[in-house]
């Protein structure tokens, strides 16, 4: 779903194809090969910046950016973030996900992969990608063991995925998803802290396509955004009534983050002021 939009937008920023201020005239829907891609809510044609595309989770805007990036570079960035391969967690049963090689892409793949369709990733891979942005662009291999027999565990592998400057920019954009009027993640806000994150509402795959009634709602983000301590991913399988990640998963993120920040005694990075 839309939590994957961090990949094409980060890639386009890193490749200097766009800046957060680059604007596009975006209709409600666009044709990509044999598919029609549309936004989640009907609207008139609007001019949106790259920042607004992310804040409002525009499918049409994300695909427009990805088409400028092109299949070859997008596929390379998907691999660079670690999708389609195990994380090296050293825990049995980890799935590498399902990522189609770029040479097998069809004409419509550039229209569905950037918005999180036609690709399957694990929650651990997604959390790792957002952790890389939080960690100023450095991916740290996920690990379960903190120490062995009183001594430290083997240090996890690290590699730079995103340039430091681009990671800082992306962090600010993800804060806008929560803090900006019209942002889809407002219910993830934690008083006293800057929260960076992204909503996702994914149709579940069924034989021949995607379900029109079964979804996975999600929110993934990190906090405090200015000096991250926690990455939290919430996934709700087949939510009832409301289906949107910003409505279903974001409040759970908020509750978990608020409790964890207090438990760990993490100082606020957006202190509340008296009126």
Q: H-type helices in the chain, by residue range? A: 6-14, 50-55, 59-69, 71-80, 109-112, 123-134, 164-179, 245-248, 250-263
Cα dihedral 102, 13, 97, 251 in deg (nearest 10): -150
Q: Alpha-carbon torsion 199, 201, 205, 208, what sign? A: negative
Omega of the bond leading into 5 within 30 degrees of 0 (cis): no
Other C-beta atoms closer than 10 Å to the C-beta of 106 total 13
* Residue 95 is among the residues annotated as catalytic for this protein: no
Contact by Cβ (8 Å): 223, 196: yes
DSSP H/E element including 219: strand 209-223
**Tokens 């090689």 — which residue?**
101
**Active-site position among 2, 57, 171, 218:** 2
- 43, exposed or middle or buried, with CB in 10 Å at 0-12, 13-18, 19+? middle
**∠ CA 136-143-93, rounded to 5°:** 125
Radius of gyration of the chain from Cα atoms?
A: 18
Structure tokens at 274: 């008296």
Contact by Cβ (8 Å): 123, 95: no
Contact by Cβ (8 Å): 201, 40: yes
**C-alpha to C-alpha distance for 142 and 96, rounded to whole angstroms:** 14
As annotated, the active-site residues are 2
């Amino acid at each position: 779903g839309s939590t994957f939009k961090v990949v094409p937008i980060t890639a386009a920023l890193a490749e200097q194809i766009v800046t957060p201020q680059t604007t596009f005239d975006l209709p409600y829907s666009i044709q990509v090969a044999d598919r029609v891609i549309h936004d989640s809510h009907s609207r008139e044609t609007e001019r949106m910046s790259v920042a607004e595309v992310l804040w409002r989770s525009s499918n049409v805007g994300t695909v427009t950016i990805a088409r400028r990036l092109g299949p070859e570079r997008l596929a390379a960035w998907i691999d660079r973030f670690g999708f389609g391969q195990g994380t090296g967690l050293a825990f049995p049963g980890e799935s590498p996900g399902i990522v189609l090689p770029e040479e097998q892409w069809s004409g419509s793949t550039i229209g569905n992969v950037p918005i999180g369709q036609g690709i399957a990733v694990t929650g651990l891979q997604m959390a790792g990608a957002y952790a890389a942005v939080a960690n100023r662009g450095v991916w740290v291999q996920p690990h379960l063991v903190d120490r062995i027999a009183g001594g430290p565990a083997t240090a996890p592998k690290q590699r730079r995925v995103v340039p430091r400057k681009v990671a800082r920019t992306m962090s600010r954009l993800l804060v806008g998803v929560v803090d900006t009027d019209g942002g889809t993640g407002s219910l993830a806000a934690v008083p006293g802290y800057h929260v960076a994150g992204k909503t996702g509402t994914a149709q579940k795959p069924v034989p021949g396509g995607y379900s029109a009634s079964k979804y996975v709602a999600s929110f993934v983000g990190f906090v405090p955004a200015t000096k991250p301590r926690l990455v939290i991913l919430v996934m709700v399988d087949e939510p009832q009534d409301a289906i949107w990640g910003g409505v279903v998963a974001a409040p759970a993120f908020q509750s978990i983050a608020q409790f964890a920040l207090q438990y760990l005694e993490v100082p606020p990075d957006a202190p509340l002021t008296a009126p």
